[in-house]
C-alpha cells in the first residue's frame, strides 16, 4: 500500500511554513505523493449553513464548508510549482482540479510545464466541481449545468496537446485551429490522470477505458463503501476487457492518531475511519488493503489538530503502523 499526504491547504489558518514542514516530512518518509486541494472561495452563505448543496453533494454533510469565509487558506494550483521546486522524489498533484474553472488548453499547457519543473512527477487529478456559488465566483456559472461534459473535453484536449506537436479542437467549450503549446510533459505518453466523483460504475468504467485513466480518488470511503464501489466498477471494466488491477484506487481520508479508542462505527462519510488509536488505525488499514485500496490520501483534520501533532502522527504511521500492515 502506497501512502499519500493530502496537504491541509484548506483551513481557517495555515502557513507556508506548516505546508513546508509537512511536505519535507513526506519526502523524508518516502511517501508516494503529496496533493493539494482545489478550493477557490468559501461563500459567506456557508458560514450560515445556507449553501445550495451539501458539502461535496454528499448527503451525510451539511450545507456548509468546514472553513469560514474569512479563513486564511491557500489556493491549491499555484502550490504545485512550489512543491516541484521543494521536492525531489515525491510525486505531486491536486485533488481534485475542477476543470470548469480553467480553460482546457491553458490547463494542459500548464500541466506540461509543471511536469517539466518536477522532472516527471506530476499526477493530474480532475473533476467537475459541485458548488454553484464557487462557479459564480470563478466566472464559470454558465458551465455548471454542463460541468461533466467540460471534464470530458478537458481530458481530450490534454491528451491531444500532450502527445502532438500541433493540435486543434472543435468542441462545446474550446474551439481552436492547429496550435503548438510549448514543452511536452516529461512523462510518456503523458502524466497519469486521476478522476473523482462520477459514482456511476458503468460511466466510470467507460471513461477509464476510453481515455486510459490511471486512477480514481474518493472521499471518506469506509471499507464497506470502498469494497462495494470497487466490485461494481471492476465488473464493468471486465466487460470492457479491462482490469481493475490497472486502476490506482484511492480515497481522501481524515487521519489522526488518538490516545484512547474512538467509536469507528460505519456511519458512511462521517465515520472515524482513520481516526483512532495506533491499533485501531492498523486494523483499519489492513481492512483497506484487503478491500483493494492502493493508496490512502491522508487528510489532516480541518481544525483542532495542530500541524506539530500531524507531523508526529505521520512518523508513527510510517515507523510503527505500516510495517504491521505491510506484513499482513
Domains of the chain by residue range: 4-327
Q: Which of 123, 297, 142 is nearest to 195 (CA)?
A: 123
H or E, element range at 126: strand 122-127
* pLDDT of 171: 98
Contact 262, 280 (CB under 8 A): yes
Q: Which of 285, 276, 274, 294 is nearest to 324 (CA)?
A: 285
Q: Residue 214 CB: number of other CB atoms within 10 A?
A: 17
Q: Residue 315 CB: number of other CB atoms within 10 A?
A: 13
* pLDDT of 144: 98
Query: What is the number of alpha carbons within 13 Å of residue 119 lying toward its C-beta?
Result: 6
Rounded Cα distance between 208 and 202, Å, is 10
* pLDDT of 168: 98
* pLDDT of 197: 75
- pLDDT tens for residues 298-311? 999 888 899 999 99
Contact 189, 163 (CB under 8 A): yes
* Local confidence band at 269 (pLDDT 50, 70, 90 cut-offs): confident
Q: Max Cα separation, the chain?
A: 62
Q: What is the mean pLDDT of residues 263-269?
A: 90
296: Cα separation from own chain's centroid: 10
Contact 199, 229 (CB under 8 A): yes
- pLDDT tens for residues 132-163? 999 999 999 999 999 999 999 999 999 999 99
Contact 122, 93 (CB under 8 A): yes
Residue 79, all three cell numbers: 502550490
* pLDDT of 5: 98
Q: What is the mean pLDDT of residues 203-217?
A: 96
Q: What is the mean pLDDT of residues 13-30?
A: 98
* pLDDT of 304: 87
259: Cα separation from own chain's centroid: 29
Residue 223 has pLDDT above 90, yes or no: yes
Q: Which CATH superfamily is domain 4-327 in?
A: Luciferase-like domain (3.20.20.30)
pLDDT averaged over every residue in the chain: 96
* Cβ-Cβ contacts under 8 Å for 210 (sequence gap 6 or more): none
* Pairing relationship of beta strands 175-179 and 167-170 according to DSSP bridges: antiparallel
Q: Which long-range contacts (CB under 8 A, 24 or more apart) does 19-23 make?
A: 19/74, 19/79, 20/86, 21/307, 21/311, 22/300, 22/307, 22/310, 22/311, 22/314, 23/83, 23/86, 23/87, 23/90
- Helix or strand or coil: residue 298? strand
Q: What is the mean pLDDT of residues 55-65?
A: 93
* pLDDT of 268: 85
Question: What share of the chain has pLDDT > 70, as a percent?
Answer: 100
Q: What is the mean pLDDT of residues 104-123?
A: 98
Q: Which of 232, 26, 290, 224 is nearest to 216 (CA)?
A: 232
Q: Which of 165, 173, 188 is nearest to 105 (CA)?
A: 173
Contact 322, 3 (CB under 8 A): yes
- pLDDT tens for residues 169-199? 999 999 999 999 999 999 999 999 999 976 7
Q: What is the mean pLDDT of residues 225-249?
A: 96
Amino acid at each position: 500500500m502506497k501512502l499519500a499526504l493530502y496537504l491541509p491547504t484548506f483551513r481557517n489558518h495555515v502557513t507556508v511554513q506548516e505546508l513546508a514542514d509537512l511536505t519535507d516530512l513526506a519526502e523524508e518518509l518516502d511517501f508516494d505523493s503529496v496533493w493539494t486541494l482545489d478550493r477557490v472561495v468559501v461563500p459567506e452563505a456557508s458560514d450560515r449553513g445556507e449553501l445550495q448543496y451539501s458539502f461535496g453533494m454528499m448527503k451525510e454533510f451539511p450545507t456548509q464548508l468546514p472553513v469560514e469565509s474569512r479563513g486564511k487558506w491557500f489556493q491549491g494550483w499555484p502550490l504545485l510549482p512550489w512543491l516541484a521546486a521543494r521536492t525531489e522524489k515525491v510525486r505531486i498533484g491536486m485533488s481534485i482540479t475542477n476543470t470548469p474553472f480553467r480553460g482546457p488548453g491553458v490547463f494542459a499547457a500548464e500541466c506540461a510545464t509543471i511536469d517539466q519543473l518536477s522532472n516527471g512527477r506530476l499526477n493530474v487529478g480532475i473533476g467537475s466541481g459541485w458548488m454553484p456559488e464557487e462557479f459564480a465566483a470563478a466566472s464559470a456559472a454558465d458551465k455548471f449545468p454542463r460541468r461533466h461534459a467540460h471534464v470530458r473535453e478537458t481530458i481530450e484536449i490534454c491528451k491531444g496537446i500532450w502527445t502532438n506537436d500541433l493540435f486543434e479542437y472543435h468542441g462545446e467549450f474550446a474551439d481552436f485551429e492547429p496550435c503548438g503549446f510549448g514543452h511536452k510533459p516529461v512523462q510518456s505518453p503523458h502524466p497519469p490522470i486521476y478522476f473523482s466523483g462520477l459514482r456511476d460504475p458503468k460511466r466510470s468504467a467507460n471513461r477509464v477505458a476510453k481515455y486510459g485513466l490511471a486512477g480514481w480518488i474518493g472521499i471518506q470511503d469506509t471499507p464497506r463503501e470502498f469494497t462495494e464501489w470497487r466490485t461494481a466498477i471492476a465488473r464493468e471494466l471486465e466487460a470492457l476487457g479491462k482490469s481493475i488491477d490497472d486502476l490506482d484506487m484511492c480515497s481522501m481520508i481524515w487521519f489522526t492518531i488518538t490516545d484512547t479508542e474512538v467509536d469507528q462505527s460505519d456511519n458512511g462519510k462521517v465515520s472515524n475511519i482513520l481516526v483512532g488509536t495506533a491499533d485501531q488505525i492498523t486494523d483499519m488499514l489492513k481492512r483497506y488493503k484487503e478491500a483493494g485500496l492502493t493508496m490512502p490520501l491522508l487528510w489532516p483534520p480541518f481544525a483542532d489538530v495542530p500541524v506539530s501533532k500531524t507531523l508526529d502522527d505521520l512518523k508513527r504511521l510510517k515507523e510503527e503502523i505500516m510495517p504491521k500492515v505491510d506484513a499482513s
